[in-house]
Copies of this chain bind each other. A is one copy, B any other.
Amino acid sequence: MTTGVRRRMGVEERRQQLIGVALELFSRRSPDEVSIDEIASAAGISRPLVYHYFPGKLSLYEAALKRASDDLAGRFSEPHEGPLGARLLRVMRRFFDFVDEHGPGFSALMRGGPAVPAGGTRLLSTTSTTNALIDSVRQAAYDQILSHLGVEEPPARLELVVRSWISLAESTALIWLDGRRIPRAELELQLVHDFGALVAVSAAHDEEMGALMRRIFKDEPAEGPFVDLVSRLVGLAS
């Protein structure tokens, strides 16, 4: 029945609405610059009512970050079908979609909260909670990659390659956000190439990694990103 009277939301529904509104604002500007008043206004409720659902801005920020983390971790899911290079490239596209959608918030978070001028206050620095969320996303990315590589108990050198490549992807995204001077499609492909290159360097140091590399690259098609990299490098060398 439509009565023209605004329907009252339940507690959980209201909390979810506030998280959505806050995440939207935290994504478009540095979270430190977003006030509770703005969030209240965007949600169409009063400031005291926001505090009724969340004791302070930090708890709302952490709830928004939790939603964003779950979203990002979900984007790493990729069917175990087809060549590995193409799978990784699709994941990189979704990763850059996320970074694109949440730019300023992503930057502020990954840089440990925005630096403030002397005398300024810094409300949303990294906390145990935000660090744990970031780590859980990194772990989700790591677990996904290992499952695609078909490795359950990674040797130390594989763990190093995968985890350090994840940090390379993070820093590449952060540098991209700072001015967007390189087309993102180029960086998505380049990160897949970087992964192949880091695996190859590790394989050049260790026989076990060499065997793994041969196995994971053996079914790559001629048009896939890994073979593309080798052709480009051969072209470069000649």
Chain A residues with a Cβ under 8 A of chain B: 111-113, 115-116, 122, 125-128, 131-132, 156-157, 159-160, 163-164, 167-168, 170-172, 175-176, 179, 181-182, 186-187, 189-190, 193-194, 197-198, 200-205, 210, 213, 229, 232-233, 235-236
Contact = CB atoms under 8 A, between A and B. Distances in A.
A149 B170 CA distance: 25
| Residue of A128, A200, A202 with most partner-chain B CB within 10 A | A128
Nearest to A127: B125
| Residue of A176, A179, A198 with most partner-chain B CB within 10 A | A198
A205 B233 contact: no
A198 B205 CA distance: 17
B163 A171 contact: yes
A213 to B, nearest CB: 8
Contacts of A160: 172, 175-176, 182, 187
SS of A interface (majority)? helix
A171 B164 contact: yes
A62 to B, nearest CB: 13
Contacts of A187: 160
B167 A170 contact: yes
A201 B210 contact: no
Q: Nearest 9 CB-CB pairs, A to B?
A: A204-B232, A167-B171, A156-B181, A197-B197, A112-B126, A164-B171, A193-B201, A115-B128, A168-B168
Nearest to A189: B205
A22 to B, nearest CB: 22
A193 B161 CA distance: 13
Given A157-B182, A197-B197, 5 more contacts: A116-B128, A156-B179, A164-B168, A193-B205, A194-B201
Nearest to A165: B168
A39 B203 CA distance: 46
A55 to B, nearest CB: 16
B204 A236 contact: yes
Nearest to A169: B164
Contact of A190 (B115, B176, B202): B202
